[in-house]
């Protein structure tokens, strides 16, 4: 498993594969591991294929609903207006980061992560630059906060994915994911107080 993880991440960091292509590397690596361990046969391959198909069809339907809601919010311009409002407040860097974290968490209740970034970055980026915030650090911050927003109770996007995978009630899913939400909140604070977490490795690449 360590070799598989190293192959997936290593293919991205070395520039051999994009993130999407690295997923294919992971699939091929999993098949090879299963073959070496003697667990690869037609039955397990078919079960894995059908399980993956069911899972991603379910995710595709959720994405379709999220895309419709994103389109609606894009037409009324709500994300852009909120981003412009935050930009015009003239906040200090720390307060700006806190405000953006709350902003992304709220949007994560209604939109998928890519749509949040696409609809808001054009407005927010000049404000972030003017505040003197390192853009590499800000990129990592956005990734962490947007992913945190996807598990924000009660209607985070990934909560519905987990509900479909487990069959559990959404209230139960929201409750058991709360510790992970708070861990990601702590991660945001660590990023602020120790920015080298985000900037050290890019600085050596």
Query: Is residue 105 in some structural domain?
Result: yes
Query: Is residue 47 in some structural domain?
Result: no
pLDDT, tens digit (0-9, with 9 covering 90-100), for 160-191: 778 877 888 888 888 888 888 899 889 989 99
Query: Is the same domain home to 35 and 109?
Result: no
Query: Is residue 24 in some structural domain?
Result: yes
Query: Is the same domain home to 133 and 66?
Result: yes
Query: Is residue 45 in some structural domain?
Result: no
Query: Is the same domain home to 176 and 108?
Result: yes
Confidence of residue 141 (pLDDT cuts 50, 70, 90): very high
Distance CA(139)–CA(148), nearest Å, equals 14
In this prediction, residue 155 carries a pLDDT of 67
Query: Is residue 46 in some structural domain?
Result: no
What pTM was computed for the model?
0.65
Query: Is residue 138 in some structural domain?
Result: yes
Number of domains forming the structure of the chain:
2
- How many residues are there in the chain? 205
Q: Is the pLDDT of residue 83 over 80?
A: no
The average pLDDT across 148-164 equals 78
Query: Is the same domain home to 34 and 107?
Result: no
Q: Is the pLDDT of residue 197 over 80?
A: yes
Least-confidence region, from 18-32, 102-116, 191-205: 102-116
Identify the domain containing residue 198 by its residue range: 52-203
Query: Is residue 118 in some structural domain?
Result: yes
Query: Is the same domain home to 198 and 145?
Result: yes
The average pLDDT across 125-148 equals 87
Query: Is residue 152 in some structural domain?
Result: yes
Query: Is the same domain home to 81 and 117?
Result: yes
Query: Is the same domain home to 118 and 82?
Result: yes
The average pLDDT across 68-75 equals 70
Query: Is the same domain home to 31 and 75?
Result: no
Here the tokens at position 53 are 């198909």
DSSP assignment string, 70-107? HHHHHHHTHHHHHHHHHHTT---HHHHHHHHHHHHHHH
Query: Is the same domain home to 72 and 149?
Result: yes
- Give, in degrees to the nearest 5, the angle at Cα 108 between 136 and 52: 95
In this prediction, residue 90 carries a pLDDT of 73
Q: Which residue has the higher pLDDT, 61 or 185?
A: 185
Query: Is the same domain home to 61 and 20?
Result: no
**The residue to which tokens 């098949």 are assigned:** 31
Mean pLDDT, the chain, integer: 83
List of residues 6+ apart from 7 with CB closer than 8 A = 25, 26, 29
Query: Is the same domain home to 24 and 101?
Result: no
Q: Is the pLDDT of residue 122 over 70?
A: yes
The average pLDDT across 22-41 equals 88
Query: Is the same domain home to 171 and 73?
Result: yes
């Amino acid at each position: 498993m360590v070799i598989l993880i190293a192959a997936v991440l290593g293919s991205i960091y070395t520039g051999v594969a994009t993130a999407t292509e690295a997923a294919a590397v992971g699939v091929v690596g999993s098949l090879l591991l299963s073959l070496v361990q003697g667990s690869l046969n037609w039955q397990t391959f078919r079960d894995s294929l059908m399980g993956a198909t069911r899972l991603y069809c379910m995710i595709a339907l959720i994405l379709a609903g999220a895309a419709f809601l994103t389109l609606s919010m894009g037409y009324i311009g709500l994300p852009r207006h909120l981003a412009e409002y935050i930009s015009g407040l003239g906040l200090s860097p720390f307060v700006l980061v806190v405000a953006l974290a709350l902003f992304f968490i709220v949007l994560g209740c209604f939109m998928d992560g890519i749509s949040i970034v696409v609809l808001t970055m054009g407005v927010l980026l000049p404000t972030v630059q003017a505040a003197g915030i390192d853009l590499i650090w800000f990129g990592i911050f956005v990734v962490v906060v947007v992913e945190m927003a996807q598990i924000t109770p009660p209607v985070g996007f990934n909560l519905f994915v987990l509900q479909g995978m487990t069959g559990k009630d959404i209230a139960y899913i929201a409750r058991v994911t709360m510790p992970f939400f708070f861990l990601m909140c702590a991660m945001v604070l660590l990023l602020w107080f120790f920015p080298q977490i985000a900037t050290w490795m890019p600085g050596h690449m």
